A and B are shown apart, each in its own frame.
Chain A
Amino acid sequence: MEHIVIIGNGISGITAARHIRKRSNHKITVISGESDHFFSRTALMYVYMGHMKWDHLKPYEDWFWEKNRIELKKAWVEKIDFAKKKLRFSSGGPLEYDKLIVATGSIYNKFGWEGEDLEGVQGLVSMQDLIELEENTLHTRKAVIIGGGLIGVELAEMLRTRNIDVTFLIREKAFWHNVLPIQDAEMISNHIKSHGVDLRHNTELEKIIPDENGRVKAMMIKSGETIDCQLVGLCAGVRPNVDFLKDSQLEIDKGILVDQYLQTNIPDVFAIGDCAQQRELIGQRKPVEAVWYTGRMMGETIAATLTGNKMRYNPGNWFNSAKFFDIEYQTYGWVWATPKKNEQHFHWQHESGLKGITIAFNTENKTFLGINTFGIRMRHDVFDLWLTENKKIDYVLTNLKKANFDPEFYDHHEKEIFRSFKNNMQEA
């Protein structure tokens, strides 16, 4: 029986712990300074909006951990002595491990902006960030959000539920256009604006201006315009939370470098989830993926490896999802913001501006490469199969109805989509 210690109780660490327990009798300790129990980070917004209470974020009841002999330790790890296999904490005695899994997740980016450490300037990743946001928005009538990604749009939605004026600054010419093709990005931009958000494209932060108490009172954009605000949301992406390991023997680039077995350069030390960086690229994936699903997959993989079934981290076809105010988004396969060589996009949008799809396909052999779908739910297993089997675009469009996952009695648009494809794409 080994002592497996996991730093971080997010989706990666907890998935690893659960699967190790399922498959073995090892002693398991999960360490977190953030929260007593595992919670769904992606749902923090719903607590602020009053949809749920904190307890609802916890996928397992509190008795679950003891029953499954997963020890929980609430502490911040300060230093790791890899030679002696020992963890030191900001308070309390040390802890020894046989195997160590680092799953410390992400923290939000700061790019050295003037005023980025002022009071009232914050991001939204952790439980502490949420508490800080409650306190900060007690005095907020107007907020500015920097950075057009998934957390930015969530923060905008959150603040709007409290009728706080939101100015949303994004660098691109449309929302999340570094990921979404332009028509998709523009559709979401329009939707965000329709929710009363002052969305400003092609705009960047110059500096944040304090009042006499060291609190934000305004901010200046690159054009020189200043905007009064009592809150600045820093939502320009996240980065691996590995600063506390910077001066150790652990090899770190952006994140902790791992091989395809999630093994770091130090024996018996592994890294999973947002804080891990793949040494070798996997398919077209980025080396660091701060995504719920990949964290969960890595947790499952490392659990297999540590319980006697060495398993390569081998994520299948890419998929992801999000929700932008009222528009749900799912993606399967790769749809790049601008088509790569030999790629083409087919875009269809519903007249409401609330539904749309973009399909990427290969112009040479017509293979289906991926789909973005907005406001129409699609089946994961169906698209996964179609991607694996390299189906052609014609096949996908002919059979699109099979992939539909909308609730009963919803309007279907497959015929319209098919017609649009025939009219606009065929023989183009």
Chain B
Amino acid sequence: MSRIEHNMALTGDAPASISVKQKIAVTIGMLGFIILILALTNINFPSKTLFLSLALGMMAVGTIWFANEAYLGKHEGIKNDGVWFKSMTARGVLAWITGIGLTLFYIIIYWFPQYLGLNAEGDNTGVISLFDPLSQILNGGAASQWFVYGTLYTLAILIFGYKFILKYRHNRYEIIRTCSVMFFQLGFAFIIPEILVRLNEPYYDFKNIWPLNYDLFAGYRLNEFFSSGNLGVFMLILGVVSIFIITPFLTYKYGKRWYCSWVCGCGGLAETAGDPYRHLSDKSLFAWKVERWVIHSVLVFVTVMTIAVVYSFLGENSADFWLTKDIFLWGMAGFLTLLFALIMIFKREQLAKDAKIGAVSYLVVILAIIGINYFSGNGNIFFFGGDQLRQWYGFLIGAAFSGVIGVGFYPIFGNRVWCRFGCPMAAILGMQQRLFSKFRITTNGGQCISCGNCSTYCEMGIDVRAYAQKGENIVRSSCVGCGICSAVCPRGVLKLENDSPSGRINSEEVLLGNDVDLMDLLNQKSH
């Protein structure tokens, strides 16, 4: 079925075409982008403030106008027409160009920031210098590659968030959720940390929780916190409280969505700029197996790494500080063993498969910790120092996985590759969601027609239909609660709910609509 003939306008419009106004909007946005490219070549703009405003402004105006044209004046409702016909959203040429471009951008920003104009000595040049005026306003200093990145990242969430809101403006859950990620990105991830820097306090994104924020307990961060008085101590305490108290509590009440699709910055970008690629996730059973192994391995990696860096930060002598290397190490070993034991004692029926993965993961962690003590005794693990391990983690997971693969490959593998396969925070939240939460996606009796919209548009690659068509609720650790499966369902089958934990997992296959008497059912069961 060739698509080329559609463009010959023999028929009505090709489903993938865009209007003239949208073409103008794209042009405006591209012009803004070209200013950034020109800045790269060290063109000396007469006024950086003006041209930076122009660049960001034109990209924003272009996107907003494009979105208005795409959705306003049309019926409210699901807008997936032609998704699989368009080059940009169906792994066509545009998708590959975008993917490769994003990937290169990430490689440069992580490892070759000098190409963007970051100079070890002296003033910024290139595109980074273009952002100096904004940086001056916010944090009082010159821009860095991370400031450029943070600005563009925030801009993307805001303007594509606007687009997303228009697209789903019939769905108040999506509107409120998107306002939330826009708010947390702009306020918590962008403005507040920059202002903290201006006030000479440690840079801190209050919503970026360990282990996503894998540097939180690194030695240099701990030194920063301890040298910043009460605020620094507060930040450190908040970091610990966030992962050990706030996170379990909120996940129990609302599922991991409270973080992954309402607060988190990675999730924020995936849900807004990444939304056009959500259907590209792999739904196969094989992908699910890979996912469980990879994400839990990353969790083990970050746990071992963090224990190692804290271990090397601490002292030997209890007279200096009560928390010594030994107390910390055995404390962690005890904590993890206890956690593992509690899960195995109380939740083992629920986890035939997942339990094995959890068991192996924790066993590895515990052995590694004990290994540190026995094999090195000098803060080394696997013959590496804790700090070296952290650098490797930062390179492999923090940069290569979450940035290059996670975002760079949006147009090829979908928008949640990092969240699904890599994020250790998602792994922890996922375990809590699977085992200790009121959240589930309820299936509405026998109404499912197995159409597959839910599975197709699940960014986490969950085969939602496999559950829905059996009348089962969906209780999966990876579900980020974006709500799109429920939105695209044409028959009103799916609903995100926080309800009592009992009866949450109705794994018994129900007869969907047949009236059976109980004796029949019993007879059936005995076969």
Chain A residues within 8 Å of B, Cβ to Cβ: 11, 23, 40, 42-43, 46, 49-53, 56-59, 61, 131, 134-135, 137-141, 159, 161-165, 194-195, 292-294, 296-297, 300-301, 304, 307-309, 311, 313-317, 319, 321-323, 325-326, 328, 330, 377-381, 384, 405-411
Contact = CB atoms under 8 A, between A and B. Distances in A.
B345 interface: no
Contacts of B284: 61
A301 B11 contact: no
B229 interface: no
A307 B527 contact: yes
Nearest to A139: B10
Contact of A319 (B76, B285, B446): B446
B135 to A, nearest CB: 38
B527 A23 contact: yes
10 nearest A-B residue pairs (beta carbon)? A380-B445, A163-B12, A377-B492, A326-B77, A43-B451, A316-B515, A50-B82, A409-B172, A163-B13, A164-B12
14 contacts: A50-B81, A50-B82, A50-B83, A51-B81, A59-B466, A139-B10, A161-B81, A300-B511, A314-B515, A328-B491, A330-B447, A405-B442, A407-B487, A408-B483
Interface in B158-176: 170-173, 176
B502 interface: no
Interface string B71-91: 000011110111111100000
A407 B81 contact: no
Given A137-B11, A162-B12, A321-B492, A311 B516 contact: yes
A297 B81 CA distance: 32
Contacts of A61: 284-285
A405 B451 contact: no
Contact of B452 (A59, A297, A323): A59
Contact of B456 (A11, A51, A131, A301): A51
Contacts of A42: 449-451
B82 A161 contact: yes
B390 to A, nearest CB: 40
Contact of A377 (B444, B451, B456, B466): B444
B495 A377 contact: yes
B503 to A, nearest CB: 12
A141 B520 CA distance: 56
Interface string B142-186: 000000000000000000000000000011110010000000000
Interface in B1-49: 1, 5-6, 10-16
Chain A CB within 10 A, most for which of B80, B447, B496: B447
B453 A43 contact: yes
Interface string B373-401: 00000000000000000000000000000
A304 B80 CA distance: 40
A138 B515 contact: no
B419 to A, nearest CB: 21
Contacts of A315: 513-515
Contact of A162 (B13, B173, B453): B13
B512 interface: yes
A275 B15 CA distance: 36
Contacts of B515: 314-317
A314 B516 contact: yes
Contacts of A51: 78, 80-81, 83-84, 453, 456, 488
Contact of B173 (A43, A131, A330, A409): A409
A118 B516 CA distance: 48
Nearest to B515: A316
Contacts of A381: 444-445
B75 A304 contact: no
Interface in B391-445: 442, 444-445
Given A51-B81, A59-B465, A59-B466, A314 B13 contact: no
Contacts of A323: 490-491
A161 B15 contact: yes
Chain A CB within 10 A, most for which of B13, B76, B170, B512: B512
Interface size class on chain B is 35 or more
Contacts of B285: 61
A110 B119 CA distance: 76
B255 to A, nearest CB: 12
B171 A308 contact: no
B517 to A, nearest CB: 9
A50 B83 CA distance: 5
Interface of B: 1, 5-6, 10-16, 75-78, 80-86, 170-173, 176, 284-285, 442, 444-447, 449-453, 455-456, 465-466, 469, 483, 486-488, 490-492, 495-496, 511-516, 520, 523-524, 527
A294 to B, nearest CB: 8
A330 B447 CA distance: 9
A21 B508 CA distance: 17
A299 B252 CA distance: 39
Contacts of B452: 40, 43, 46, 52, 56-59
B520 A46 contact: no
Nearest to B509: A22
Contact of A328 (B173, B465, B490, B514): B490
Contacts of B524: 23, 304, 309
Nearest to B487: A407
B76 A407 contact: no
Given A59-B469, A139-B10, A297 B523 contact: no
A308 B526 CA distance: 11
B486 to A, nearest CB: 5
Nearest to A311: B520
B457 to A, nearest CB: 8
A292 B285 CA distance: 26
A134 B447 CA distance: 29
A254 B423 CA distance: 58
A292 B465 CA distance: 15
Given A50-B84, A139-B11, A407 B445 contact: no
B512 A296 contact: yes
A56 B527 contact: no
A304 B523 CA distance: 10
A36 B442 CA distance: 32
A42 B312 CA distance: 61
B514 A407 contact: no
A377 B81 CA distance: 23
B444 A56 contact: no
A162 B12 CA distance: 6
Given A49-B81, A50-B86, A378-B492, 18 more contacts: A40-B450, A46-B452, A50-B83, A56-B456, A135-B1, A137-B11, A138-B6, A161-B81, A162-B13, A162-B14, A165-B12, A294-B513, A296-B446, A297-B514, A308-B527, A328-B492, A405-B492, A407-B487
Contacts of B81: 49-51, 161
Nearest to A195: B75
Contact of B75 (A53, A165, A194, A330): A194
Given A304-B524, A380-B446, A56 B492 contact: no
